[in-house]
């Protein structure tokens, strides 16, 4: 019973949508000293749920040779359920989109196009943007930073604040780093799909070192925001704890075989970071 609940949370894409929500709320908390549920954060949650559901549905149709792998078997089994979740998320996203300001609606055009191109096979030979060599990890980092940092900052009329852009770089580096272990996990699938990723080019050991290095670079951007006065020492310490724990999880990811480690823990480092920042914001 417990496994079914965990599978529902992870593979219905509720978990990754909560990660996106957590990152957006973290931006609110740092820039505005409080968190609140606005149409924008509702849109971020529902749009993430919708896009990742579509990604699952389209992706599983290309992986007939890997259906014996547990995570793909679960996704294939509940494909119709995921379709229902996508429809419900689309409705929730449309309602939220209606209530956000026009400026934010317009700012969603570029990340929206990138996101849809990432999940839908609009290129020749039924390829998606994620099926192009090397590009998918950069697209993920850019879109997540745009959606979870720049959009909340725009809602707070702080887009011209230099600290916001430092935060955007910090977030993109963090997301880039935690995506690298997923490329290690998916190495066989990407090789089968003839997609070259960073682990395929430089190998797994160097990829792990790269992930840890990029995580500390993300903390470097945090230090700049500390110097600028945007981050208090307690927030900086929370981010350091997040980087250290995430670096540990990333470095040892290739020794873990169960997908819960990736989909649950590595994605969950975004929620962990938010909880640490929220907790230390009281000090």
pLDDT-derived band at 80 (thresholds 50, 70, 90) equals confident
**Better-scored residue on pLDDT, 63 or 273:** 273
Q: How far apart (Å, rounded) are the C-alpha atoms in residues 35 and 12?
A: 26
Contact 163, 149 (CB under 8 A): no
Nearest to 199 by CA among 255, 174, 190: 190
pLDDT-derived band at 17 (thresholds 50, 70, 90) equals very high
Contact 140, 179 (CB under 8 A): yes
Q: Which of 13-27, 101-115, 192-206 has the lowest mean pLDDT?
A: 192-206
Count of Cβ atoms closer than 10 Å to residue 276 Cβ: 20
Q: In the 8-state DSSP scheme, what is residue 132? A: S
The pLDDT value recorded for residue 245 is 97
Percent of the chain with pLDDT over 90: 67
pLDDT-derived band at 67 (thresholds 50, 70, 90) equals low
The pLDDT value recorded for residue 63 is 56
**Average pLDDT over every residue of 1-22:** 89
Q: What are phi and psi of 280, to 5 degrees?
A: -80, -10
pLDDT-derived band at 40 (thresholds 50, 70, 90) equals very high
**Average pLDDT over every residue of 95-111:** 95
Q: What angle do CA 84, 137, 128 make, to 5 degrees?
A: 55
Give pLDDT tens digits for 235-268. 999 999 999 999 999 999 887 778 899 999 999 9
pLDDT-derived band at 66 (thresholds 50, 70, 90) equals low
Q: How far apart (Å, rounded) are the C-alpha atoms in residues 153 and 146?
A: 10
**Average pLDDT over every residue of 153-182:** 96
pLDDT-derived band at 117 (thresholds 50, 70, 90) equals confident
pLDDT-derived band at 194 (thresholds 50, 70, 90) equals confident
pLDDT-derived band at 233 (thresholds 50, 70, 90) equals very high
pTM for this model (two decimals): 0.94
Q: Which domains does the chain have, with CATH numbers?
A: 2-280 (1.10.600)
pLDDT at 132 over 70: yes
């Amino acid at each position: 019973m417990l496994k079914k609940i965990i599978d529902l949370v992870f593979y219905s894409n509720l978990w990754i949508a909560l990660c996106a929500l957590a990152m957006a709320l973290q931006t609110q908390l740092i820039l505005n000293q409080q968190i609140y549920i606005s149409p924008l954060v509702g849109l971020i949650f529902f749009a993430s749920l919708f896009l990742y559901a579509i990604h699952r549905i389209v992706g599983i149709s290309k992986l007939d040779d890997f259906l014996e792998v547990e995570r793909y078997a679960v996704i294939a089994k509940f494909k119709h359920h995921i379709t229902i979740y996508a429809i419900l998320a689309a409705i929730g996203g449309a309602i939220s989109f209606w209530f956000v300001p026009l400026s934010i609606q317009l700012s969603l055009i570029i990340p929206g196009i990138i996101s849809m191109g990432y999940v839908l096979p609009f290129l020749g030979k039924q390829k998606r943007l994620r099926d192009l060599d090397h590009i998918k990890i950069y697209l993920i980092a850019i879109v997540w930073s745009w959606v979870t940092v720049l959009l909340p900052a725009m809602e707070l009329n702080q887009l011209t604040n230099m600290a916001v852009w430092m935060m955007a770089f910090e977030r993109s580096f963090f997301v880039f780093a935690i995506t690298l272990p997923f490329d290690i996990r998916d190495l066989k699938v990407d090789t089968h799909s003839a997609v070259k990723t960073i682990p395929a080019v430089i190998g797994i050991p160097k990829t792990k070192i790269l992930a840890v290095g990029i995580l500390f670079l993300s903390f470097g951007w945090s230090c700049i925001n500390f110097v600028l006065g945007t981050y208090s020492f307690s927030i900086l310490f929370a981010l350091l704890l997040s980087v250290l724990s995430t670096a540990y999880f990333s470095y040892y990811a290739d020794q873990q075989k169960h997908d819960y480690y990736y989909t649950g823990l590595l994605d969950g480092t975004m929620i962990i970071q938010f909880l640490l920042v929220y907790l230390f914001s009281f000090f």
